[in-house]
Amino acid sequence: MSKQRNTFITIIVLFLIGAAMPYVLKQYHLNMLNEIIIFALFAVSYNLLLGYAGLLSFGHAMFFGLSAFMTAIGIIHIPGLSLWSAVLIGLAAAVVAGFLFGGLLLRHKGAYFALLTLAFNSLFYAVAIKWHSVTGGDDGLSMTRPDLSLGFATIPLAGLNYFYYLTLVIVGAAIIFCWYFTHTAMGKTVLLMRENEERMKFLGYNTNVSRLILFTFTGAVAGLAGTFYALHFQFVSISAISVDMTTAVLLMTFVGGTGKFWGPILGAFVYIILQNYLSNITDRWPLFMGIIFVIMVLYIPGGLSQIIISIWERFTGNKESNGEVAEEKEAVI
C-alpha cells in the first residue's frame, strides 16, 4: 500500500517539477526538454517490446514516422483540422499499421523477426521517399501547429510554453499509462511469456494474440510519440521514418537500460543531451554513441540504470528485496 502511495507521490512531484520548468529554463533548453519527453515516450514503447516481451525489433520507427507523416498530412490537407483530430489521425494510423504488420511480422521470432522488422521499416522508408506528392519526399513536410480548442476556450500553441504544457500532460500521461500497463494482467502475461512461453500456452493463454496486442499497443504509443514529434518540430522529414530513427530509439533504450521501466526515459535524456552537446564539439558523435553502445552490449547489458542501481545498493547497503523488482531485473536480457 505504501509503495503505491510512494509511486503516486513520485508522479505528482515529477509533474510539478515539469510544470515549473518553463520558469527555470531558457527557451533553447525548454525546447530540448520537450524533445526529451517525446523521445522518452518513444523509448518507453520500444522497451515494452525489447525489455518486457523480449522482441528485438529494428522497425519501430515505422509507426513513429507513419504517425508523424499522417499528422502532418492531415493538418496540411484538411483546413481547420483541430489538434485533437490531428493527434487521432496519427494514432489511428499507427494502430491499424501495428495490427496489420504485427500479424505478418509476428509469424516469426528471434533473429527472423529482427530481420523482417528491418525490412519492413525500409519498405515504409522507400514509400515515404518515392511518394513525393504526398510525403514531400526528400524535402519533407512543414506545417503550423493548430491551436488547442478546449470547447470553452482556445489556447494558442504557436509559442513553445503552452505546447510544452500540452506535451507534459498528454505524453506524460501516456508514459504513466505504459507503466500502468506493465502492472496489468496483460503486462504480466507478456513478461511471463518471455520467460516461458510453453508453460503459458499450457496454462491456456493464447500467446500469439497477446503478442499481437502488445505489438499493436507499442505501435500506437510510438505513433503518439511520432505525432508529438511532428507537432513539436512543425516539420516532418523522411528521417522520422528511417532505420536511423529506429537506431536512435534502440540506442536510447539500451543505453538507459532495458531492465527498468525508467531506464529508457533516462536513456532519452542522455541521448538528446549528448546529441545536442557532442554535435557542437564533433561531427563524429554518432561514432561515440555507437562505441558506447557496443561497450554496453558487451560489459553492461543492464545499461545506465544497472550502474545507478548498483551504486545505490552500495551506498544504502540493502538490496531491494521486493519480489517485483527481482522479476524486473530478469528483464535484462
| Residues in touch with other proteins (CB under 8 A) | 50, 54, 56, 58, 104, 107-108, 110-112, 114-116, 118-120, 122-123, 126-127, 130, 243, 247, 250, 254, 284, 286-287, 290-291, 293-294, 297-298, 301, 333
CB 285 within 8 A of CB 275: yes
Work out how close the CB of 325 gets to other proteins at its nearest, in angstroms, rounded to a whole number. Answer: 21
Work out how close the CB of 135 gets to other proteins at its nearest, in angstroms, rounded to a whole number. Answer: 14
Name the CA dihedral angle for 223, 228, 231, 234, rounded to a multiple of 10 degrees.
Answer: -80
DSSP states of 167-179: HHHHHHHHHHHHH
The C-alpha cell that represents 26 in the structure block: 531558457
The C-alpha cell that represents 254 in the structure block: 539500451
d(CA 266, CA 163): 22
Residue 234 zone, left/alpha/beta (φ > 0; ψ -120 to 50; rest): left
Work out whether strand 235-236 and strand 141-142 pair parallel, antiparallel, or are unpaired: antiparallel
Measured from the CB atom, is 165 or 271 closer to other proteins?
271
Measured from the CB atom, is 85 or 247 closer to other proteins?
247
The C-alpha cell that represents 252 in the structure block: 536510447
Measured from the CB atom, is 54 or 90 closer to other proteins?
54
CB 117 within 8 A of CB 234: no
Measured from the CB atom, is 18 or 301 closer to other proteins?
301
Measured from the CB atom, is 123 or 155 closer to other proteins?
123
Work out how close the CB of 64 gets to other proteins at its nearest, in angstroms, rounded to a whole number. Answer: 18
List alpha helices for 184-322, DSSP H.
185-195, 197-202, 207-233, 243-256, 263-281, 285-299, 303-316
Work out how close the CB of 293 gets to other proteins at its nearest, in angstroms, rounded to a whole number. Answer: 5
d(CA 99, CA 215): 8
Measured from the CB atom, is 34 or 242 closer to other proteins?
242
Place of cell 494514432: 91
CB 45 within 8 A of CB 60: yes
Work out how close the CB of 290 gets to other proteins at its nearest, in angstroms, rounded to a whole number. Answer: 4
Measured from the CB atom, is 60 or 145 closer to other proteins?
60
Question: Which among 195, 264, 198, 246 has a CA at the least distance from the CA of 59?
Answer: 246
Work out how close the CB of 179 gets to other proteins at its nearest, in angstroms, rounded to a whole number. Answer: 23
Work out how close the CB of 89 gets to other proteins at its nearest, in angstroms, rounded to a whole number. Answer: 23
